[in-house]
Every structure is written in structure tokens, then in C-alpha cells.
Amino acid sequence: MDVPGLPARRAALRLGDAVLRRGETLDQAAAGALQGLSDPDRALARALASEVLRWLVDLDALIDSATRQRLADDAKARAVLRLMLAGWLRLETPPHAVIATALPLLAGGPRRLAHGVFSTLVRTAPRLPSAPKLPPELAKRWGERSAAIAAGLAQPPPLDLTLRDATQTAAWTERLGGVSLATGHVRLPRGTAIERLPGFADGGWWVQDLAAAIPARLAGAGEGRRALDLCAAPGGKTLQLAAAGWAVTALDISAHRLERLRDNLARTGLAAEVIVADALAWEPDGAFDAIVLDAPCTATGTCRRHPDVLHRIGPRQIAEMAELQQRLLARAARWIAPGGRLVYAVCSLESEEGEVQACRVTLTPDPIRADELPAGLAPTPEGWLCTDPSMLAEAGGLDGFFIARWRA
């Protein structure tokens, strides 16, 4: 019989291996690695793997400080020690419980080594820094922004909700016991059970990071005009546009991911035309007064909630995404009605996916204004918005996004 807590740690080990060795996302890996676990064990495995990935450089430095001969990066003993240290230093699991639940993972292997290294570190009582250290290649890529971004990664993000009726912001903030950082937004502590919250069943709100909610806001009021949510899944922008009075067409290549949008449309009572199609092959039956293109990207701006992107995204993935974004932008620009707006967004911190793409668009810039943004955020001199996880840190931060807007 497994020691209580051991199945979760075995699953966490599989999750880390899938990300670091095979380049999978945590979400992709979870389908197989977490199969058969109880809900508490699933949550624990995901939390352990996430903390390992978030603090990987610092955890490895501790391990190396306590070994005479450096363990190989892909050694199982190193992977287990990372889990042990993450459980102890980040999840505050007592050392004796860490040992009891982790050493069985090395059955037939270097258990004594792992036990010795961990015990040595427990005696020296190390502390992790206030912010994770970024992998060297990432720090080089992000340059002078690296320290600020890293500071925003120390804690997983809170829970952000977008309201169906923005005029009820004060009422929902009080009812849910949260805080609001913008009209139509409520923020709650992480770990909140979403389905149990007031307003879930009757569609009063949906989950959406504060930064992710900005692009659709920048389309303005719909007043019955036509809007296209290009690359719409999982659907938060479609719901926003519909709630703002747009006649929305929601297009995405993934039928599976659009099922979540259909469910949320039904739950909220909002309406949209949902189309499964490849945006690079599809042609609309007319022009749109607004297009929101939240383009496929490397998603490095979501590193607070998806720390796997810190380790599996490199120049090849960035170049592939940038090429796709350029093609999507070129098509979207053709479909805007005269006087209409195009909003482009990526949840990426890479300039190739943001600033470089924006400079290629030949439409008339429609600069983002400070009064359109949550308090504490400001547009760049070019009229773009660039957010990163260090911003609004005192209120819990937000994802990294690049957003730009034009008029036809």
C-alpha cells in the first residue's frame, strides 16, 4: 500500500519530467500523470510540480551546495530532491513527512544520497530568495526587465472574475468578499472553489485574468454592431463583447476548446455565433466593426500560473508563433469595416510577438488611453500596452500582455 501522499509525489515527478524532458505543458502532461488520483492528491501534485518549475534554478543551487559531485540535470535523485525541497520550503511540509513520502520514489536507487543531501540542507536551514531566479537564457532574453518580472513570480496568482453586468461591480465585490481593480472586475484569493461561489450557476461572471480582460474592453461599446473574436477559445473575450452589446462571431480552430465557450454562453445567457474554422483559410461574409485578435503565442506572460513556460520556450517556438501572428494580423486587417477597430493582443513577454508585430501593421494607429485601463497601468509612448507580472504587485499582480489597437 502506498504511503499517504506518495501517489501525489509520484505524479508530480511525472509532471516535471514531461515538461523538462519532453517539452510538454503542465496541462498536457496532467491528463496522463494525474489519472486516477483523488482531487486533493491532484491538487498537491500540481502544486508541487509548479513550485519546482517556478523555483528550479534556486532549488538546484541548494542541491549543488550539498553534494560533493554534481548530480546530472536529468538524474532522478535531483528530480526527487527538487520535489523534497519544494514541499519543505514552499508548501511548508515538515521534513520528516517530506522524507517519508519522497524517498520511496527512489526505491532501488540512491535513497541514501537523497536522504543525506536533504538532511544536510535541513540542518543548515536555508531560505529561498524573495523572488525566483530565472533560467540564464530567459534572463538574457528579457534583459533589464528580468528582475522585475522575476519578482512577480514568487507567488501563484489570485482569482480574477469578469462580471456580466459591469454596472453591478460594487454589489458583486461586496457579495463575493473580494476587491475590484476595474469596473466589471472582482479579485478573490487563490484557492477559491469556483463552482461554489455566488453567481456561478446563474452566469453572473466568468474567470478571466485582469490583463486578459483588457483587449475586449478596448473594442468599446457594441450597440448591435458586428464584432469578430478571432482565435476565440476559451471564450472570455467573446463573453465580454457580447455583454458589451456586440453581435459577436467567435471563431477558433479547436472544436474541443469551443465547447467551453458554448457552456459559458449557456450559463451566462449571452449570445454569439460560434464557428469552428482555421482563421488562415476562413473568409467572412462581410466586414466587421471590431476585431479582437488574441493571437496564439508562446504564452510566456502567463508564467505566474504556468511556470512550465519558463523552461520549454526558446527561439524556435518564438519564431514559429511570430510567423503565425503575422499571417493572422494580415488577414484580420482586411476584414475591418471603414472606421472599425482592430485590437491585437498576445499573452507574451517576447518583443518578436508584440512590438515587432505591431510595427508591421499598416492601419491607422488608435492609441490606447490611460483612462481606458485599470488604475496603475499606463500605455507606452506608442499607445500600446505592455504588462508583466511585476505590475500591480501590491494587489496581486497580473499576466504579461502586449496589446495594440488600430482603426481602418
Q: What is the pLDDT of residues 137-183, one digit of tens each?
A: 999 999 999 999 999 999 889 999 999 999 999 999 999 999 999 99
What mean pLDDT is predicted for residues 305-324? 97
How far is the C-alpha of 315 from the C-alpha of 323, rounded, in Å? 12
Cell numbers placing 213: 480582460
Among 231, 297, 303, 347, which one carries the catalytic annotation? 347
How far is the C-alpha of 1 from the C-alpha of 17, rounded, in Å? 24
The burial class, CB within 10 Å (0-12 / 13-18 / 19+), for 58 is middle
Q: What is the pLDDT of residue 75?
A: 94
At residue 392, does pLDDT exceed 80? yes
Nearest of 208, 204, 203 to residue 188 by alpha carbon: 208
What mean pLDDT is predicted for residues 260-277? 97
What mean pLDDT is predicted for residues 13-41? 94
Are 3 and 100 in contact, with CB atoms under 8 Å apart?
yes
Amino acid identity, position 359:
C
Cell numbers placing 399: 499576466
What mean pLDDT is predicted for residues 373-401? 96
Q: What is the pLDDT of residue 354?
A: 98
Mean pLDDT across the chain: 96
Q: What is the pLDDT of residue 3?
A: 80
pTM for the model stands at 0.94
At residue 11, does pLDDT exceed 60? yes
Q: Is the dihedral of CA 191, 377, 295, 244 positive or negative?
A: positive
Q: Read off the pLDDT of residues 350-368 as tens digits, 9 standing for 90 and up.
A: 999 999 999 999 999 999 9
Are 159 and 189 in contact, with CB atoms under 8 Å apart?
yes
Q: What is the pLDDT of residue 317?
A: 97
Q: What is the pLDDT of residue 1?
A: 52
In degrees and rounded to multiples of 5, residue 167 shows phi and psi of -70, -15
At residue 46, does pLDDT exceed 70? yes
Q: What is the pLDDT of residue 4?
A: 84
Q: What is the pLDDT of residue 386?
A: 97
At residue 377, does pLDDT exceed 70? yes
Amino acid identity, position 383:
G
Q: Read off the pLDDT of residues 182-216 as tens digits, 9 standing for 90 and up.
A: 999 999 998 888 999 999 999 999 999 999 999 99
Indicate if 231 belongs to the active site: no
What mean pLDDT is predicted for residues 48-77? 96
Structural domains of the chain ordered from first start? 6-124 (1.10.940.10), 158-208 (3.30.70), 212-407 (3.40.50.150)
| C-alpha distances in Å from residue 207, one per residue of 22, 73, 120, 160, 232 | 30, 37, 43, 6, 15
SS3 288: strand
Q: Is the dihedral of CA 14, 348, 230, 371 positive or negative?
A: positive
